Amino acid sequence: MSSQRVLPVILSGGSGTRLWPMSRTACPKQFIALTGAETMLQLTVERVADPELFEPPMIVAHPLHADLIEGQLGAAATLILEPHARNTAPAIALAALAAPAEQLLLVMPSDHLIHDADGFRAAVQTAAATAAEGWLVTFGVRPSRPETAYGYLRRGAELAPGVFEGEAFVEKPDRETAGRYLADGCYDWNAGIFMFRADVYLQALEKAAPEISAAARAAFESGRREGARVLPDPDSFARSPSDSIDYAVMEKAERFAVVPVDMDWSDVGSWEALHEVSPQDERGTAIGGDVLSIDSKGCLLRSSGPKLVVVGAEDLIVIATADAVLVVPKSQSQRVKEAVDALRAAGGNEGLGV
């Protein structure tokens, strides 16, 4: 473990459309209590709250959510308010510019679930020395099944105990290919969690994606600060291409490493994924809110609005809010994004918050 504390950079710009109708533009899934009493953002911040290991976090978010974040976290974090959605590579650049050059950054989404927080922190400590030496480190989740919804990382030679040279980022596979990855033993799920020095990331970005680098730097240098809020210049940031850290930087990096970790992780990327991590009754049904379930099997039933009564259903997702009801087969829950797109096309975005 490096002697310096790690600065968590929490990315909170996502819209969470696959968890509509509970997740809305004004209040996406990271600000909702999906798995307990605390929101996903609050749980994320709690995982990096040890002052011996971590600096107070930076949160990169949309200006629309600034008051919501401060209401959930108080004044415990620096907010970098990106004026336009430009994906993760430019967002991380803003955080790196706001940090000291040799500061270790731990970059992670705000809306993932990690049950084994101790395992996660142990992996951070394992990765720190390699990151301090100038490597771009990514955390790979050891796969437990042939999953087709995640990208994968392929590990190479071991660089240090628990740290491996990264050989490739791999796109989401079909089921047969995912089965081969699982049997091979050298592939991990890409959790979208990274660690590197601020200056190392900025140098890699400038080399691999100079237009993103230039726009982010101009936006930061021409921006302003209001208390704990950092407001980059909108016109400069608008000139940045929109790209992820995976495509813009990591896939082109000369020195990237992988730290595999068992931490009981889920990206909670669909209602089916939430069903998998939720407490279930003896028939495999998970219930939240004012719900009466009679002989329902393998369902996720949640209501934050009217009383929801479901009888004899099997493998269904039923979500009710004050102004909308979603019904979808559990196996097709990834298609909720299609419903959101259709609502937007029909002009329902204002009333339904999409």
Mean pLDDT of each 10-residue bin along the chain, 354 residues long? 84 91 94 94 96 96 95 89 96 98 98 96 97 97 92 96 95 94 95 97 98 98 95 97 96 94 94 96 97 98 96 98 96 94 82 69
**pLDDT given at position 351:** 58
Q: Do 117 and 193 touch, CB atoms closer than 8 A?
A: no
Burial of residue 289 (number of CB atoms within 10 Å: 0-12, 13-18, 19+)? middle
Of 219, 276, 273, 249, the residue nearest 82 (C-alpha): 219
**Both tokens of residue 281?**
């009754």
Q: What is the dihedral of CA 45, 51, 55, 61, to 10 degrees?
A: 10
* CA 208 to each of CA 60, 99, 137, 202, 345: distance values in angstroms, whole numbers, following the listed order: 22, 21, 17, 10, 36
Residue with tokens 């091979």: 184
Q: Do 300 and 271 touch, CB atoms closer than 8 A?
A: yes
**pLDDT given at position 16:** 83
CA distance 284 to 33: 21
Of 129, 88, 106, 89, the residue nearest 50 (C-alpha): 106
CA distance 288 to 303: 6
Pairing relation of β-strands 113-114 and 265-266? antiparallel
Pairing relation of β-strands 286-294 and 265-266? unpaired
**pLDDT given at position 3:** 67
- Length of the chain equals 354
CA distance 108 to 261: 14
Of 166, 181, 88, 168, the residue nearest 130 (C-alpha): 166
**pLDDT given at position 14:** 85
First to last CA, the chain: 43
CA distance 166 to 182: 17
Give backbone dihedrals phi and psi of 281, rounded to 5 degrees, phi first: -80, -175
Q: What is the identity of the amino acid at 49?
A: A
CA distance 161 to 49: 25
Helix (H, G, I), strand (E, B) or coil at 255: coil
CA distance 130 to 162: 10
